[in-house]
Structure 1
Amino acid sequence: MSSHRGTHNDLHSEQGALPAEHPGRARNPVIKVLDLAWLEFAKPDLVASERFAQAFGFTTVSRTADELQLRGTDAGAPCVIVRRGPRSRYVGAAFRAAETTDLVRLAGATGTNVEMLPESLGGLTVDLSDPSGVMVRVVADTHELATLPSQPTQVLNFGHDVRRANATQRPPHEPAKIQRLGHVVLQTPRYVETLNWYLEHLGLIVSDFKYFEGQRDRGPTMSFIRCDRGSTPTDHHTLAMMLGPSNRYVHSAYQVGDLDALAAGGEHLRELGFYRSWGIGRHIEGSQIFDYWRDPDGLLVEHFADGDLFDCTLEPGWSPMTASGLAQWGPPATKDFLGLAPGRDALHELVSMARSLHDDNEFDLTRLRGLLKVTNS
């Protein structure tokens, strides 16, 4: 076990930072966002998108010929906004500002403007692009959707600690009701530059760093990043970012009530013919119980339950990046989840690898070797 200053053994990583390694937070960020508000996607078929979304556990807020808004049971803004487009793609994320004045401060620091959002959402936004070119919105004063009835969680017996007697356990095969948006995971060939942008502009802080085996001296290649809400615990990661040969959406994750909701909801999806990419298992970074599915357009989405919550006092953990290190228990990570299954996406990533080696970015031949080692680990 490491004795380096700033470690927090037995919490989420075996060791903390070495001297002069990335601190995982900005000294004086422009603002500190509170949470993710929603994610935006483009899809060619909104009817098929809504059909999967409802089977996955979303509730439809509204659907027009050109836009679909989806929500969870928690109060707040929609979790997901899907607009009609020629191809399926991730567009960007909206983060929730702590107060409206933060938008003015952010706009001034970035040379942008505070704009009105569409009436269907209400409120204000500052629209930016991160160094990878991905859209980032910071929003405030949006319409507040009321809380919906939640899915009952199960009463559990823990060994000899009996909490349920003369009653059976029968979770129905039905959609696992989404409670809220949890996080989004992105890949970029400009990893450190993009990471620093989020820390400096939005006040996010790193919970865990990952590095390629044998390349720790070259710095991290993945980070799990949370909001800084001071003494209020928040999700282990709201955003995760990894170094790779292309700018790519990896997956997004949505909280459900408990393991039974997740597992029975998965049976419901399987019975409808949808494709499970990987699961069920429990992660290491974040500790979530997870289950990954492909939507009709091939985008990866996750049900999760029982995730870690950290306040601002914990410093980043550091650990090597391996495929086998993605879960504490569960089936091995699949080729589909790792992006290695034969198909269009894998071919696109191979082409991106070849191109990125000739571009001005952080993904060089040494990093490629490290990534290939991860996929075989």
Structure 2
Amino acid sequence: MTGRRDPHTDLHSDQGALRGEHPGRAGDPVVKVHDLAWLEFEKPDLARAEAFARAFGFTPVLRTPEELHLRGTDPGAPCVLVRRGARSRFAGPAFKAADRQGVLRLADATGRKVAPLPESLGGVTVDLVDPSGARVRVVADTLELPALPAQDPQTLNFGHDVHRINDVQRPPREPAKVRRLGHVVLQTTRYLETLNWYLQNLGLIVSDFLHHPRQRDRGPVMSFIRCDRGRTPTDHHTLALVLGPADRYVHSAYQVADLDALAAGGEYLLDRGYRRSWGIGRHIQGSQIFDYWRDPDGFLVEHFSDGDMFDCTLEPGWAPMTASGLAQWGPPATKDFLGIKPGRESLRELRAVLGALRDDNEFDLGRLRGLLKVAGS
């Protein structure tokens, strides 16, 4: 009897680069950022945004008629800034430099000016523009908010390793308290140029490359990129870049305590009428347990827990990109998550495909064929 082939075979990217492939890091970067500081959005309805944010597990720390700042329980700056705008849009990421000298060095290397941030944030920024047109802030000396009470992970009994005796497990159905911002994923029509820009200017390094099936010779089309803090472990990816027909935000991810917080928090969101996009499952690249949601403005946001942590010694892995390769376990990736669900978003993406094929960029007919294979895999 012929056994069924495991669809995850060869998808765990434990194979390294072949000779001549991208090394995944710059030899002499301008600076090495330490983390994501926050993400900035514009939305027309701040009250609606705040209601979802509270249900998702954020704590508002600033609320004016024109601005909303959201934080997690970890100490530091707010992790999401929302300003009132005529339409919903992603305004860009902010990365945290090691110190003010890093901001000054980056400004000098790029010909940009250092500017003070608003009093509500403190510190300074140098504002850059990456090759895909996204505004990228690098900040230092921002105000440090103190830690808030966090959700404690559940005490678990693993097989015969017993830690909970004469006690029961009753995780409450409540918002999964966000601890911190983990990563942001961006799509770009100029993938390789944009990747090299982040590696050279911000000192990020690649954890994993993905290539279209049977197109490895054309190079990668997605990279999971982490901060380089030497031997100090950092998230498997702080930024992920993927080649596509439009320059846009894909999703952002926020850490919660554990699987129980994530699952019970998901039930809380469902009870209030919010829409799950995909989950619950465990990713391959990054290994984190995930649960994806759509906020009322259509932005994709993720709860995650138990992600990989790498130091600077690990070289990039290489693997084919497939829809089945997005998770080790869990339901199949949904059409909503993949961006192919019939509706306004898929029509916008189709128009973007037609526009990208006419423009001078990295998204060509070969890449379109590869992307269609991914969606159908």
SS in 1 for 2:120: coil
CA contact 1:283–1:328 (8 Å) conserved in 2: yes
| Structure 2 residue 155 is matched with structure 1 residue 155 | yes
Aligned residue in 2 for 1:106: 106
Structure 1 residues 249-276: Cα deviation after superposition (integer angstroms, max 9, x where no partner): 1100000000000000000000000000
CA RMSD of aligned residues (A): 1.0
1:232-257 CA distances to partner (integer Å, 9 max, x unpaired)? 00000000000000011110000000
Contact 2:42 / 2:87 at 8 angstroms: preserved in 1?
yes
1:146 aligns with 2:154: no
Encode CA deviations 1:57-95: one digit per residue, 9 max, x unaligned.
Answer: 000011101000000000000010000001111110000
Deviation at 1:281, TM superposition (A): 0.2
Aligned to 2:69: 69
SS in 1 for 2:268: helix
Q: Is the 8 A contact 1:210 1:221 kept in 2?
A: yes
2:312 is matched with which residue?
Answer: 312
For residue 7 of structure 1, what is the aligned residue in structure 2?
Answer: none
Q: Distance in 1 between matches of 2:358 and 2:293?
A: 34
What residue number does 2:3 align with? none
Question: How many equivalent residue pairs?
Answer: 368
- Aligned residue number for residue 191 of structure 2: 191
For the 8 Å contact 1:173–1:267, the answer to whether it is kept is: yes
Kindly provide the CA deviation profile for residues 104-132 of structure 1, in whole angstroms up to 9, marking residues without a partner as x: 11001100011100111000000011001
Contact 1:56 1:265 in 2 (8 A): yes
Runs of 4+ in 1 over 4 A off after TM superposition: none
Q: 1:204 aligns to what?
A: 204
* 2:85 partner letter: G
CA distance in 2, matches of 1:153, 1:27: 40
Conserved? CA contact 2:186–2:250, under 8 Å? yes
Cα deviation for residue 11 of structure 1 reads 12
Between the two proteins, what is the percent identity of the paired residues?
A: 74
Query: Within 2, Cα distance between the matches of 1:119 and 1:163?
Result: 47
Residue of structure 1 in register with 2:268 after alignment: 268
Question: Given the alignment of the two structures, is residue 285 of structure 1 paired with residue 304 of structure 2, yes or no?
Answer: no
Cα separation, 1, equivalents of 2:27 and 2:193: 16
Question: Where does structure 2 lack aligned partners over 5 or more consecutive residues?
Answer: 1-9
Equivalent position of 2:6 in the other structure:
none
Residue aligned with 1:210, SS: strand
User: What SS does the aligned partner of 2:95 have?
Assistant: strand
The answer for the alignment partner of 2:84 in structure 1 is 84
Counterparts of 2:351 and 2:35, CA distance in 1: 35
In the alignment, is the contact (CA less than 8 A) between 1:12 and 1:286 conserved in 2?
Answer: no
- Matched with 2:224 is 224
1:345 aligns with 2:345: yes
Deviation at 1:153, TM superposition (A): 1.2
CA distance, structure 2, for counterparts of residue 153 and residue 215 of structure 1: 42
The question of whether the paired residues in 2 share the 8 Å contact of 1:45 and 1:84 is answered with yes
Q: CA deviation at 1:152?
A: 1.7
Aligned partners of 1:17 and 1:316 also within 8 Å: yes
Equivalent AA in structure 2 for residue 224 of structure 1? F
Query: Which residue of 2 is the match for residue 129 of structure 1?
Result: 129
Q: TM-score, normalised by structure 2?
A: 0.97
Distance in 1 between the 2:13 and 2:136 partners?
Answer: 29
- Which residue in 2 is equivalent to 1:373? 373
SS of 2:261 mapped into structure 1: helix
Q: 1:12 to 1:226 in 2, by over 3 A?
A: farther
Amino acid in structure 2 at the alignment position of 1:150: A
SS at match of 2:325: helix
Whether contact under 8 Å (2:132, 2:194) holds in the other structure is: yes
Q: 2:176: which partner in 1?
A: 176
Aligned equivalents of 2:214 and 2:341: distance in 1?
26
Calculate the TM-score normalised by the size of structure 1.
0.97
CA deviation string 1:122-164 (max 9, x = no partner): 0000001100110100000000000000112100000111110
Aligned AA for 2:68?
Answer: L
Aligned-residue offset at 1:14: 3.0
What secondary structure sits across from 1:367 in the alignment?
A: helix
1:116 and 1:124 in contact (8 A); partners too:
yes
Describe the superposition over 1:310-351 as per-residue Cα deviations: whole angstroms up to 9, x where unpaired.
000000000000000000000000000000111111100001
1:3 is aligned to none
Kept in 2, the 8 Å contact 1:183–1:239? The answer is: yes
Q: What residue is the counterpart of 2:51 in the other structure?
A: 51
